[in-house]
Amino acid sequence: MSAPIDRSVERGDGYYIVVEEVKPRVQVYKLVDSKIRFFESIWEIPEGITYNAYVVETDSGFLLIDGWKRGFGGLLVEELGKRGVLSRVTHLIVNHMEPDHSGSIPEILSARPGLKVLGHPLAGRLLRDFYGFAGEFKPVQDGEVFEEGGLRIRFLHAPWLHWPETIVTHVEDLGVVFPCDVLGGYGAYREIFLSEMSEEGRKRYFKLAKMYFANVIGHYRDFVLKSLPKLREAVSKSDVVAPGHGLVLDRGDALEMLSSYEKWIKKESRKIVVVYASMYGFTGEAATRLAKVLEGQGFEVVVYGFNDYERPMVSELVSDAMDAEGLLVAAPAYENQIYPTIRYVLDIIAHKTGCPRVFFLHVYGWGSRVGDARSMLEELKCGVVETLDFKPSTVSSMTDSQIKRVIDFFTRTT
Amino acid sequence: MSAPIDRSVERGDGYYIVVEEVKPRVQVYKLVDSKIRFFESIWEIPEGITYNAYVVETDSGFLLIDGWKRGFGGLLVEELGKRGVLSRVTHLIVNHMEPDHSGSIPEILSARPGLKVLGHPLAGRLLRDFYGFAGEFKPVQDGEVFEEGGLRIRFLHAPWLHWPETIVTHVEDLGVVFPCDVLGGYGAYREIFLSEMSEEGRKRYFKLAKMYFANVIGHYRDFVLKSLPKLREAVSKSDVVAPGHGLVLDRGDALEMLSSYEKWIKKESRKIVVVYASMYGFTGEAATRLAKVLEGQGFEVVVYGFNDYERPMVSELVSDAMDAEGLLVAAPAYENQIYPTIRYVLDIIAHKTGCPRVFFLHVYGWGSRVGDARSMLEELKCGVVETLDFKPSTVSSMTDSQIKRVIDFFTRTT
């Protein structure tokens, strides 16, 4: 009765399709996107990404959970159709409305008009606003149990993870949790399971999952903390966790990743991220010198320098800032303002990860704009802030007391 | 008596050195930098750049005008030394203190301690602040004539082109103007003269010179207009114009470029630049549709789209915005803000080129942030502003009256 499986469909245009069983009665329909360069058109991801739709077989047909990116709906319809699934889908469950998953809804509904759609109450309005949806929509409440074809499906509201109408779908009888984008990761994987990975592959995936978390979910970190007990409970009762991007996790890995989320958000590290921009080297010299000093004090120090030869990936920078207890930011003046790239990057860091502790180094020629830096950090609601400004000629002759100020700033606990 | 010339020194590491006669008694010492990726660590320049120092032979030795980028001072000293110039330099003229030219001053002065330095009065302080300079400095006044080794050299102040202490050095007896960064351009040219170029090469160079102008000098466009008469007068009295970057111009080309500056600044065009960011295509569809409509109305329309596959060069975008009479900006909401890349890019455009006329399209899912867009445009001191917001589903069904609003906005003259 189960639909036939084929491991991978090559398309030769940077996209691949993988359809595979996740466990009996559960299949992943995975669009592997190795062509994308910027997720959300912001985050550099040379590693690519996958969009994971899932099909759950009930006694009366199939549930379709989420879908593919906008523009690939026709392809998803085709894949579901040729496996005999499309005509037997009874319900479409929308875990959230972000168009990298909801983007195929118009084609699905056009192939299967009248299909019942389930989602968070707010998803009903968004379906109309995004796709002019006027079909049958069943809003689901937090904790609501839906029974279909002999299966109990519990829906949990996970507001703002990372959309307001995010829900988690827990197919209790099969022991599978579909946590939406939570517990997802970057990477154009054709593999299905994290458990397929080598030790090195695991590490790489945790890095990509952290990057995804910081980039995409980071701004809603307080909501993540609020939802953690609920997520842990659902995961604990299941065998398999099947997110909207990346690899499928077993219970242990999913719980480990949730604990990592908590650790990252609480910035439980002795890590300092150094971010600098430097046009002619003065600011870079100050920043890298202090980075070495801090390393000598036992901190883990990661340096991101924007200069005339290199532009680091903001996706990685934000990921590193996510769990860093402190930031050392160094920027020159630029046309009587704070250097624009640093304003952009700091804005993103503050928004996505917060900035509880920032030391700001400023190098100026015409006149110091350190006051602007302080206003900017205040506007970004950064916590403890100190600043230091240098004329270029004094960068190389930084005094012991200046260096001590920086060390003290990061070592004292208040 | 003239120093020996060799056309090009290959270094094989992305840098080249070209030393050549510009006209009798005037030589260019050119560091060709094809390795740089981001000028000022901001502007994408796959074309590279040159740093042009000049040597003028007088009856009593040599004047050295400007120098090379910080980090290459030792190399400049070597090149001057092996041609017998270094030991006979009598004066160093600092047209401005930006470290892509002044960065070699420490090495020059260390090889030739006691060398007299001439520059704008403010350059004296900046020499101390950048390099701890404590030598002999002669401040020059606007219009001051300096006589040395039988040559009359007139200095003109060109404040804020693009540094506060910019001067133009006019060696009247030789008919050469050294206009600092004004009239410079990008491009890792080993050629010396614009007149060496083919018709196509000329066009390319004017494009690179415009990009350099918009990127580097654009913010000070009002000061450019103020200095234009002075610059035109000096250029008119000379044969050769030798800027700090790019190619050496003859009088006609220099005057043409100054006229172009004026045209660009005054936005004398029927050009509209469309800038959009789009995560899943909705905003991009709205923007490109309206771009076509405006093209149909006879406008020259240039489209820059930030999406998940492409990130346009901000250097080019700012160059195109420089002379565009209008901007059509389209941005989605992102986590209840205006999309960050658009905020960054608009900030740069407003700063560098101004934004007298902006139509802002906004596409939103959760809730419209068009009010934020209006505040942002006001803060950026944009002139005439109109906005329109769409839900994603209404992008494809844009009404005639909405389209008419956009056309009217750009066609009416007030």
Write the residue in B36, B164, B392 that is nearest to A366 by C-beta: B164
pLDDT at B9: 63
pLDDT at B14: 84
Beta bridge partners of B163: none
- Cβ of A219 under 8 Å from any chain B Cβ? yes
pLDDT at A412: 85
Average pLDDT in the B277-292 region? 97
- Cβ of B128 under 8 Å from any chain A Cβ? yes
Average pLDDT in the A37-62 region? 98
Q: Which token pair is A344? A: 């952009």
- Cβ of B335 under 8 Å from any chain A Cβ? yes
pLDDT at A9: 63
pLDDT band at A3 (very low <50, low <70, confident <90, very high): very low
The answer to whether the CB atoms of A309 and B97 lie below 8 A apart is no
The answer to whether the CB atoms of A308 and B36 lie below 8 A apart is yes
pLDDT at A414: 54
pLDDT at A13: 83
User: 3-state DSSP call for residue A279?
Assistant: coil
User: How does pLDDT run across B313-335, given as a tens digit for each residue?
Assistant: 999 999 999 999 999 999 999 99
Please state, in angstroms and as integers, the Cα–Cα distance from residue B218 to each residue in A207, A313, B213, B354, following that order.
41, 28, 6, 9
Test mutation, A38, A41, A348, chain B, max B CBs within 10 A: A41
- Portion of chain A with pLDDT greater than 90, in percent: 95
pLDDT band at B10 (very low <50, low <70, confident <90, very high): low
The answer to whether the CB atoms of A280 and B99 lie below 8 A apart is yes
Complex prediction ipTM: 0.95
Q: In this model, does residue B259 exceed pLDDT 80?
A: yes
Spell out which residues of chain B touch residue A132, defining contact as CB-CB under 8 Å: 393
User: How does pLDDT run across A200-216, given as a tens digit for each residue?
Assistant: 999 999 999 999 999 99
Residue written as token pair 């076509």: B292
Spell out which residues of chain A touch residue B69, defining contact as CB-CB under 8 Å: 280
pLDDT at A4: 43
Spell out which residues of chain A touch residue B39, defining contact as CB-CB under 8 Å: 308
pLDDT at A8: 58
pLDDT at B414: 54
User: How does pLDDT run across B117-170, given as a tens digit for each residue?
Assistant: 999 999 999 999 999 999 999 999 999 999 999 999 999 999 999 999 999 999
pLDDT at A75: 96
pLDDT band at B412 (very low <50, low <70, confident <90, very high): confident
User: How does pLDDT run across B172-228, given as a tens digit for each residue?
Assistant: 999 999 999 999 999 999 999 999 999 999 999 999 999 999 999 999 999 999 999
Write the residue in A278, A335, A393 that is nearest to B219 by C-beta: A335
How far apart are alpha carbons A213 and A219 in whole angstroms? 9
The answer to whether the CB atoms of A129 and B391 lie below 8 A apart is yes
| CA distance, residue B120 to nearest chain A CA (Å) | 14
The answer to whether the CB atoms of A38 and B391 lie below 8 A apart is no
Give the count of Cβ contacts less than 8 A between chain A and B. Answer: 123
Q: What angle do CA A393, A271, A253 make, to 5 degrees?
A: 150
Is the separation of the CB atoms in A188 and A49 below 8 Å?
Answer: yes
Q: Cβ-count burial of A7 within 10 angstroms (0-12 exposed, 13-18 middle, 19+ buried)?
A: exposed
Beta bridge partners of A118: A93, A138
Q: In this model, does residue A2 exceed pLDDT 50?
A: no
What chain A holds in terms of domains, given with CATH numbers, is 9-265 (3.60.15.10), 271-411 (3.40.50.360)
- Cβ of B103 under 8 Å from any chain A Cβ? yes
String of DSSP letters for A8-70: -EE-SSSEEEEEEEEETTEEEEEEEE-S--EETTTEE-TT-EEEEEEEEEETTEEEEE----T
- Cβ of A381 under 8 Å from any chain B Cβ? no
- Cβ of A400 under 8 Å from any chain B Cβ? no
pLDDT band at A14 (very low <50, low <70, confident <90, very high): confident
Spell out which residues of chain B touch residue A97, defining contact as CB-CB under 8 Å: 365
